[in-house]
A and B are shown apart, each in its own frame.
Chain A
Amino acid sequence: GEKVEQHQSTLSVREGDSAVINCTYTDTASSYFPWYKQEAGKSLHFVIDIRSNVDRKQSQRLTVLLDKKAKRFSLHITATQPEDSAIYFCAASISSGSWQLIFGSGTQLTVMP
């Protein structure tokens, strides 16, 4: 079946540095790529997304890049803060009869003071 892979299970950065989380996907028909954040002990909430008609999207300190040829997308966080510490999940839409999302396994980002 189709997959979304996050190869980094953990990532540690110093406060103020940048963090990059990478994902790859297998479905060439994927057109929507959201990112969700899960803080410790809490639920997931949406942070940013990108659609296949663009290759870059920025929202404040967050930027998503999409490389359709390589089937790769990434989340860039600049000027990291302690409150950025969380698990980040990437996801991609797939078409298997009806459109659904497949999630990556998550990356635990730790921002160290």
Chain B
Amino acid sequence: EAAVTQSPRSKVAVTGGKVTLSCHQTNNHDYMYWYRQDTGHGLRLIHYSYVADSTEKGDIPDGYKASRPSQENFSLILELASLSQTAVYFCASSDRDPSAETLYFGSGTRLTVL
């Protein structure tokens, strides 16, 4: 079974603060993704990466940075957290691009920005 673990499970941050969400996969997958889930919007892609030391912008990258220091680890960074970034964040991985391969999701991080 593919394994994607996220930390923390939940976090409360203050507006203007820095937040780092971490993701670790043991699947030996090349592709990793960060999605945001808001009620009524489904999942929206923030950033993704298909190789270590390289990241790509997804559909809603503004206000977020990503870092892929190794094949196993992928972080999402909010340099200046804002109220609008309150959401549930999911990390996922896949062996190949998502037009050809199942995504394996982590358990999610619930972020509340006050």
Contacts and interface: CB of A to CB of B under 8 A. Distances in A.
Interface of A: 1, 4, 6, 9, 31-32, 34, 36, 42-46, 49, 89, 93, 95, 98-106
Classify the secondary structure of B's interface with A. loop
Contacts of B44: 103
Interface residues of B, number: 24
Interface string B43-55: 1110010100000
Contact of B100 (A32, A36, A103): A32
Given A1-B59, A100-B45, A105 B107 contact: no
Contacts, number: 59
A75 B98 CA distance: 19
Contacts of A98: 50, 56, 97
A32 B107 CA distance: 24
A95 B100 CA distance: 12
Contact of B42 (A32, A34, A89, A99): A89
